[in-house]
Structure formats: C-alpha cells, structure tokens
Structure 1
Amino acid sequence: MPPCSLLSLATAVPPFVVEQADAKATARRAFNRKNLFDKLSGVFDNAEIATRHLVAPLEWYERPHGWHDRNAVYLEAAEQLFIDAATAAIEKAGLTPRDIDGVVTVSTTGIATPSLEARAASRVGFRDNVRRVPVFGLGCAGGVNGLALASRLATADPGSIWLFVTVETCSISIRLDSDDPAAVVATALFGDGAAAAVVTSGLHSLARITGSAEKLWPGTLRIMGWDVEDPGLAVVFDRAIPPFIDAELEAAAEGMCSDLGITRDEIDRFCCHPGGVKVIDAIESALQLNQGELNLEREVLRGYGNMSAPTVMFVLDRLLKQGLPDKVMMTAFGPGFTCAGLLLEAA
C-alpha cells in the first residue's frame, strides 16, 4: 500500500468514572447468580484495572434492561463520543470539518441506522457530500482494521482527507442476569470510549502508515464475539484466548511481516490492544518481549479497562506523545478469530 500520512489522533471518554472497588461492590450486590459471582470475583482484583469510564451512572447497571433501553443509551452516548473524538482530531490536524472528504466509522456495541456519522454530521459540520463507510462486527480488532481501511481509502484517492472514528460502549452489554462466567469477566473488564484519527496522502504528519495485514484462524468463531439474545448482547470470551495467543501470535506476526515485505527484526515496537492483563502477558511471551515492555498497554488498561476497538488507539496516542520509534506494528485481536496488523513509521 502506498504510504499514508497520519495527521492527528484524539481520544474521548464518557463522563462517569468508576473505581474498580466500587464496580466490584456494585456487581456483587446486583449479580443474580451470587454463587457464580463469588466464585469468580477475584477477577476484579487480578485485572490490574484501577478506573473505567462508563456511559451511565452505576445505578443504571443495577436495573434490568432490554434491547430498547440498552440501545437507546448507546445511541445517545455513542453520538456524543463520536462528536467529541472527531472534533478533537480535526482540530489537531489544523483542519475544519468541511475539509473532511470521507468518514470511516467502526462500532460493534450497538445498532445505529442511520449510522453514527450521519447522526452526528450536522453537529460536527461535515459537508453534505461527505463519503460514509460505517463498519460493524470487527470488535476489538476494529481500531487497527478501521485505521487501515481509512488509510487505504485515502491513498486510493490522492489528496482526499479521511476521518476514522471508533466508538464502543461495552458497558451497556453487562449482563447481571447471565449464568455464563464470561459475564463476570466482562463486568470486571469493560469500559467505554472513543478515538479518532485524520489521514491523507502526501503531507507532513505524525507518522506514515505504510501497510496493513491480517491473520484469520479457521474454526475459531466461538473464541470471541457477541451472542444476540433477548435482553441484549452477551459477550463470548473463551478462557483459551491467552494460551491461544501465546501459541499462535509469533507465527502470525512473522506472516504479517512477510506480507508487508519486512522482517520481524525490523519492528522496533509492537503497539498492542490490551484486552486484559493475561492477554498482555501472552503477547509478551509469544513475541519474546521483555516482561513489562508493553508498559503503555498496561497503563491504558489500568486507567480505562478494555474499551474494545478504541483501546489500541489510546496506546498509540501515548506512544506518539513519547516519541514514535522508527517502525511500529499495531496489533489487535478480534472476533473471527483474527489478528489485525498495521505498520507505522516515524515521520
């Protein structure tokens, strides 16, 4: 893929902040299956998460909600998060909303038809001929895949300016009625947030995006995803995710590097989606990194939890601020089961 310029990156979070101890106490009080919760409650303490941002106050999560109520919260919160992240990214790029030629929107935690960029268009100030590409179903991999898609669209139309926005409200899928252990894990991990970036071809920038790649493993549909059920989305988390990553990531990374025409040794740093502390440990083990080398990933996880697709963008934001190494490979795992990769180079 021809090089693409990353002009800006911005993040946004909703207004409600919960300390992990308060989240644990609320969950213990509200979870229907007390024996299941007590058996698994240690995940709150071992998750290495201090705070998370939520789209609703804690008392909202203690009440039962169906699809309509959950999605109503998604629509209101996701639209505002879209506006906050998009506006900040456009301003950081030194542009106006009318300079944006196209928008790629990635979101998998609610249903919006019209899609989020259409709902937010007049408030952001997009032109009436802005091109729209909403994408659903990428899950945690959406931060990498969405930025890759926006970059390919920008390079396919030289001179065009594209905005990528990812918004996820994972917390509204928390299911206190569930007897699935994954529901307890999700309650201990999930946070909400958004991120946005502006990309184009041929300008000075924060970084150059020089290629993307992906690895999809057949027969792994039940490792990660959502089940659509009557009260709302139900998370699919297989306990095998960390050992699967430990066993498979090294070969996948080698294959993606080969597809991009580089060797693994040329990568100065991996910028990874921190899905959980065990996932970070597995990535460090699989890629033979020094323990703690993914320090920014742990920092983001501690302050925000797992926000799905935007989370890796929070990591990239910190990496850019401290100084991007010469070659960086962004990675994120998502439903499929898939690993998405994006190659960035210092400007």
Structure 2
Amino acid sequence: MSKITSIATAVPVYQQSQMQIYDAVRAVHAGTEEEARVLRFMYKSSGIETRYAAVPDFNLENGRNEILHIDGADINTSGLEDRLKIYDKAALDLSIDVIRKCLHEYMNPSDITHLITVSCTGMQAPGLDLSIVKELKLCPNIYRTSVNFMGCYAAIHGLKHAHYIAEKEPDAKVLVVCVELCTLHFQKDRSIDNITSTVIFGDGAAAVLVENSGSKRAGWELKKFYSEINFEGIDDMAWKISKDGFLMTLTNKVPEILEKKCKDIMDHALQYYGITSEAVDSWCVHPGGKKILEAVERGSSVTREQLQESYAVLKEYGNMSSPTVLFVLEKILRRAEQNGSVKNIVGMAFGPGLTLETFHLANA
C-alpha cells in the first residue's frame, strides 16, 4: 500500500475580496444598471469571501493590469500567447513555493524519485515538470509524468498514479504537484459561462508526498480509488483552447446532475471500498461552487457539518480547479491531528466528462 506523508498548499501574492473583484470586472460583465445589480447578487451569494490571483487585474487598488485592459469604453484582453508567458513563470514560482512547504524538514528535494505535475491552465514543452527539476536540482534520472487538461478532478488522478507507483516500489518518494492559474483565462464576453467562471475561480497550488506504507514517516494510508463517468453531463462542463485563452463551459445543469447522481456514485464507491457511510468520518468534497456543495447535500446523506472544510475552502479561496480538493484534505488532516477523531476519509471531485473521481484514505 501507500500513504500520504506530507501535504501543503500555497496561493499567489494578489489577494482580493469577492466584492473587489466585482468592482474590477463590473464594467466588463455588466452593461446596464440591471445587469450590474444581478452581477452583484451573484458575487455576494457565491459563498466566497476572498480569492487569490497571479495577476493584479482583479483589484482596482493595485493600479495595473496584465491581462485586462480598459481604456474608457474600449475593453481588451491579452491573447493566449501573452497569458501563457505569465503562466510559465507564475506557475513555476508557485510550484517551487508549495514544494518547499511540503518537503520542509522531511527530505531534500534531491531525494524525490518520482514527480507528477498536474495542471489544466497552461502548458509548454519543455514542461512545468522539467522546469521544477531544473530549479530544485532534482535527480536528472527522476521519473516524470504530467496530468494535463483533466480539470477539477485531476489531483485525485495524480494521487492514484502516485499510489500505484509507491505501493510497488518500497523506496519510492512520489511528489504530486497541482498548480492552476484560472484567473489568467478571464474572458470579456458576457456569456453566462464567462461570468460564472469569473465569479468562482481563483489561483492556487498544492503538493503531496506519497510513499510506500513501509516508510518510517507517519502518514495516512491511500486505500483505494473509484471513478465513474456520467455522459449525461458531457457537454455541461468543458475546457477548450481559443486564441483569447482557455474557455470554460459550466452550465447550470451540473448541480442538477450531481444531485441526481451523486448518491448512487457514492454508494458504488463505498461498496468498492468495503465500508459503510457511517464509517466515513469526513467527506473531502471538491467545492466547485456553493450550488455544487448544496447539490451534494440534497442528493446524498452527507450533511453540511461533514462538508465544513469544503465550505471553508470555498469561502477563503474560491474554486482553484485541481488543487482545491487538496486544500480541503489539508484542513481535514489538520483537524484530525488536533482531535484524533478522524479514521476514514472519502474524497470526491468532479470535472469535464462529467467525470467523478473518489478516493479512500485511512489513518495509518
């Protein structure tokens, strides 16, 4: 088996309140007073209070812009090439920050045997993985793989890959790094998809160290993984590339589909894991949005109290795509360290497809 022996999270430097973001984009996404009123309601009722960005554009007090350019009535945004130039540096800086936090006193970066990078908000070749190897002077013969463009559930896919490596290789030290700069792909068009994306998405990174269960370091055992695809939502959550950046599709049907399907999927996962819902002490659910979490509550036996960390991450950071579920997991593990009441954790995240990925984590 394998276990998580360290976890860390990090955010970029630009913090803004939800309503500061509203003030910055109101002129772009609202053409009339009525549209501004509706937009303001969306921001205030989102369940989000603060978010972080790799660019200064979403807080007027910063006084400068990198992707959003407003000159009177003339509104323009940077093209894909310029956005990805920002991604190349900002994603590496944030990755190095979170890796150092994750490894801390545990080990030297050169001891890492496997590196798995996860991202859907930028890409290049040579990729982020090679940039990390060079910056941290990792071993040149390190095993590398990248999980790209899988969206909000990709962290679990990365963990799954790390688990399969670590359980087969006793000396493996697998580092999973998720970094997403969602705000780089702000779109000025007033489609509901663009508006919704701007209301909920932020930037962040997370890193997890996975080792064989025989490691002397304490940790949480990764037991099993279960995933399921629901093609009913294949057109309702998507992520596509355009000359103006990456385009998010996130329709209002997604909460409806989750409410209808999540109980069956949870039951299938629990059956596969060989545990009952009563045995689950904490549900580590990706906070894709307030309506998403409420749909999970309505569609299953999971209570709001059991989703306290998911709501807290949404409130503090918004939806950061792939690292978000690891922000939730970090909070749950910190609580477990304090009171020792958590034995079984079941995680769940969802993304384009509509794909649902789950995992079972137990106190080792």
TM-score, normalised by the number of residues in structure 2: 0.90
Q: Which residue number corresponds to residue 328 of structure 2?
A: 315
Is the CA contact (8 Å cut-off) linking 1:36 and 1:179 kept in structure 2? Answer: no
Q: Is structure 2 residue 17 aligned with structure 1 residue 19?
A: yes
Q: Which residue number corresponds to residue 119 of structure 1?
A: 131
Q: Which residue number corresponds to residue 330 of structure 1?
A: 347
Q: Which residue number corresponds to residue 54 of structure 1?
A: 53
Q: Secondary structure at the match of 2:51?
A: strand
Is the CA contact (8 Å cut-off) linking 2:283 and 2:306 kept in structure 1? Answer: no
Q: Is structure 2 residue 240 aligned with structure 1 residue 242?
A: no
Q: CA deviation at 1:42?
A: 1.9
Q: CA deviation at 1:61?
A: 4.3
Q: CA deviation at 1:39?
A: 4.1
When the two structures are aligned, how many residues end up with a matched partner? 343
Question: Alpha-carbon deviations, 1:292-320, whole Å to 9, x = none?
Answer: 43111111111111100111111111111
Is the CA contact (8 Å cut-off) linking 2:182 and 2:202 kept in structure 1? Answer: yes
Q: Which residue number corresponds to residue 167 of structure 1?
A: 179
Structure 1 counterpart of 2:5, from 7, 20, 29 = 7
Alignment of 1:274-289 (within 5 A): 274-289=287-302
Alpha-carbon distance in structure 2 between the residues aligned to 1:115 and 1:38: 43
Cα distance change, pair 96–50 in 1 and its aligned pair in 2 (3 A): same
Q: Secondary structure at the match of 1:243?
A: helix
Q: Secondary structure at the match of 1:60?
A: coil
Q: Is structure 2 residue 146 aligned with structure 1 residue 129?
A: no
Alpha-carbon distance in structure 2 between the residues aligned to 1:301 and 1:220: 23
Q: Which amino acid aligns with 1:60?
A: E
Q: CA deviation at 1:112?
A: 2.1
Q: Secondary structure at the match of 1:293?
A: helix
Is the CA contact (8 Å cut-off) linking 1:40 and 1:181 kept in structure 2? Answer: no
Question: Alpha-carbon deviations, 1:103-152, whole Å to 9, x = none?
Answer: 11110011121121201212212111111001112100012221121111
Alpha-carbon distance in structure 2 between the residues aligned to 1:32 and 1:239: 20
Alpha-carbon distance in structure 2 between the residues aligned to 1:107 and 1:171: 14
Alpha-carbon distance in structure 2 between the residues aligned to 1:36 and 1:109: 29
Alpha-carbon distance in structure 2 between the residues aligned to 1:246 and 1:77: 36
Alpha-carbon distance in structure 1 between the residues aligned to 2:172 and 2:303: 40
Q: CA deviation at 1:266?
A: 2.7
Is the CA contact (8 Å cut-off) linking 2:282 and 2:332 kept in structure 1? Answer: no
Q: Which residue number corresponds to residue 190 of structure 1?
A: 201
Alpha-carbon distance in structure 1 between the residues aligned to 2:8 and 2:304: 28
Q: CA deviation at 1:265?
A: 3.4
Is the CA contact (8 Å cut-off) linking 1:165 and 1:195 kept in structure 2? Answer: yes
Q: Secondary structure at the match of 1:309?
A: coil
Q: How much identity, in percent, do the aligned residues show?
A: 28
* Higher mean C-alpha displacement, 125-134 vs 218-227: 218-227
Q: Is structure 2 residue 87 aligned with structure 1 residue 81?
A: no
User: RMSD across aligned C-alpha pairs, in angstroms?
Assistant: 1.6
Cα distance change, pair 28–302 in 1 and its aligned pair in 2 (3 A): same
Alpha-carbon distance in structure 2 between the residues aligned to 1:33 and 1:128: 54
Give unpaired runs (5+ residues) of structure 2. 58-64, 70-76
Q: CA deviation at 1:44?
A: 0.6
